[in-house]
Amino acid sequence: MALKLSSVEKTIGDYIVHLRINADKTKGYIEISKKNNDGFNFPSEEDVISFLQENGIKFGIEYYSIKNIISNKIMKATLVAVGEPPIKGEDAKIIYKYDFSKKINLVQDESGNIDFKSLNWFHQVKRGDIIATKIPAQRGIDGKDIKGEPIVAPLGKDIKFLLGKNVGIDDSEKNAVAKTDGIVEIIDSKISVSEVLTINGDVDTSIGNIEFSGDIFISGDIKGGFKVKAEGSLDVNGVIESSDIEVGKDLVVKGGIKGSETTKVVVNGSVICKFIENANVFVNSNINTDFIIHSNVISGGKITLNQKKGVIAGGEVVAKDSIITSTLGSHMGTKTDITLGVDIAKEAMMIEKKNTLVKLEKELKRMVPAIEAGKQIMERGSMDDTKKMQFAKSVQEYNSILENIAKIQEDINNLEEEMSHHKFSYIMAKDTIYPGVSITILKFSKHINDFLGPSKLYLKGNEVVIEG
């Protein structure tokens, strides 16, 4: 495409000097042609420079180029003035606070060994956390045309946040922030926060230990030796092997829980699973499963097993409320301990309060001699003002301890009253109870020495009775 030039000319001697300027006035060219055939009196440098100035050209003049034209009598169009082009401003950009490349961050110890259980491949955020910050488009640097006029630099190109679910913009309009706790990730090019962490596969060396503030769904197994902590609920499609599990709400395991002596599963809500085997399971609420084998299980609610094939055999099973199963114990006389009516949370609270009570009573006993001595001195009127103040402070502390003791004793009495209500807890076996089973309700126990058919055991007075 031909360059569009404006043109002005001037006759100098036997020549015509043409000044040609491009559209944005950033380039000026001198072209010389003969006026007649003589061609004498070629323009001088001063002539050309003066001609440029007459036409307002005062910036970017290339004097060496003019000198070259005159020295070599160059006739063709030659660039003699160049403006300063503007510099476009930097485009806006988004700076992410997290690496979304899905690269695994390997953790190495001092010896260089890699901890495959701590891969740190996902990013947790809390509500209000900044996920990304936008650096606004920048103003460029203005240029100047050959007439000395400014050329305004274009602003950099703007960019917008692409927002997915649970992500918003803060008041500054510069930051993308999480609207909830969860996992931050890029989904369909958009920043999103998922309240559910989904693991498509097993929790193994490819994933590592997991600690997440929301719910977790695992489509495979949790392999042995790994730790999973969910502040929300945990849903496992496969099996939990020998792993340490901590769940803030409910645990659902479509397979089952197969533990070890050194691992434990702690759940603040309820548990639904296929089986519990060789595991340590502590649940604040109810448990629903098919069988519990050689496990230590504590439930703060009731335990319900499949009434057609449910089995509890081996280990120790504790429930605050009822236990309903099909079979209790095994034909081999496996030692199986069942405890009912025990509220583990209240038991722990009771122990804590009793320990505190003992400490306060010791402190009170220690203060008694000093209080008695102070009373006697006061009665004789031989206590100065400083000692009176100290004595008053001691009496105030003494009375405060007395009040605390009374309050804690009241709490203990209330706890004992609440815990006594669990005497109505019971265990029901729909099919068989084998010898080797020991059942304790509150503080009263019964050992089963003979085969029993369908039975219900509960506390009557101070005795565990069997109702066939």
- % of the chain exceeding 90 in pLDDT: 55
Q: What is the mean pLDDT of residues 80-88?
A: 94
Spatial contact of 204 and 219, defined as CB atoms under 8 Å apart: no
Alpha-carbon distance of 468 to 465, in angstroms, equals: 10
Q: What is the mean pLDDT of the chain?
A: 87
Alpha-carbon distance of 66 to 62, in angstroms, equals: 7
Look at residue 462 in the predicted model and tell me its pLDDT: 85
Q: SS3 of 174, please?
A: coil
> Which residues are CB-neighbours of 327 under 8 A, at least 6 positions away?
309, 310, 311, 312, 313, 429, 431, 432, 433, 434
Look at residue 2 in the predicted model and tell me its pLDDT: 45
pLDDT in tens, 10-42: 998 888 999 999 988 999 999 999 887 766 788
Cα dihedral 346, 352, 358, 361 in deg (nearest 10): -90
For residue 133, what are the β-bridge partners?
A: 95, 175
Please name the helix (run of DSSP H) or strand (run of DSSP E) that holds residue 190, with its range, or none.
Answer: strand 190-194
DSSP state of 61: B
Spatial contact of 282 and 296, defined as CB atoms under 8 Å apart: no
Spatial contact of 107 and 114, defined as CB atoms under 8 Å apart: yes
- Comparing 224-233, 321-330, 390-399, 452-461, which segment has the lowest mean pLDDT? 390-399
Instruction: Report which of 243, 237, 236 is spatially closest to residue 258, judged by C-alpha positions.
Output: 243
Q: What is the mean pLDDT of residues 359-373?
A: 86
pLDDT of 375 over the 70 cut: yes
User: How does DSSP assign 101-164, residue by residue?
Assistant: S-----EE-TT--EETT----SEEE-TT-EEEEEEPPPP-B-EE-TTS-EEPPPPPPP----B-
Sign of CA dihedral 281, 286, 290, 292: positive
- Give residue 407's identity as a one-letter amino acid code: K
Alpha-carbon distance of 124 to 127, in angstroms, equals: 10
- For residue 70 the two structure tokens come to 């005159």
Q: What angle do CA 421, 426, 427 make, to 5 degrees?
A: 155
Spatial contact of 191 and 167, defined as CB atoms under 8 Å apart: yes
The widest CA-to-CA distance across the chain, in whole angstroms, is: 141
pLDDT of 119 over the 70 cut: no
Spatial contact of 410 and 428, defined as CB atoms under 8 Å apart: no
pLDDT in tens, 280-304: 999 999 998 999 999 999 999 999 9
DSSP state of 378: H
Read off the pLDDT band of 324 (50, 70, 90): very high
Which is higher by pLDDT, 161 or 351? 161
Q: What is the mean pLDDT of residues 84-91?
A: 94
Spatial contact of 30 and 17, defined as CB atoms under 8 Å apart: yes
Q: What is the mean pLDDT of residues 79-83?
A: 95
Contacts within 8 Å (CB) and 24+ apart, 11-17? 11/35, 12/41, 12/43, 12/47, 12/51, 13/40, 13/41, 13/42, 13/43, 13/47, 14/38, 14/39, 14/40, 14/41, 14/42, 15/39, 15/41, 15/42, 15/43, 17/43, 17/47, 17/48, 17/51
DSSP state of 422: G
Spatial contact of 452 and 464, defined as CB atoms under 8 Å apart: no
Most confident of 192-206, 283-297, 392-406: 283-297
Spatial contact of 28 and 8, defined as CB atoms under 8 Å apart: no
pTM over 0.85: no
pLDDT of 229 over the 90 cut: yes
Sign of CA dihedral 376, 378, 381, 384: positive
pLDDT of 182 over the 50 cut: yes
Read off the pLDDT band of 387 (50, 70, 90): confident
Q: What is the mean pLDDT of residues 109-123?
A: 60
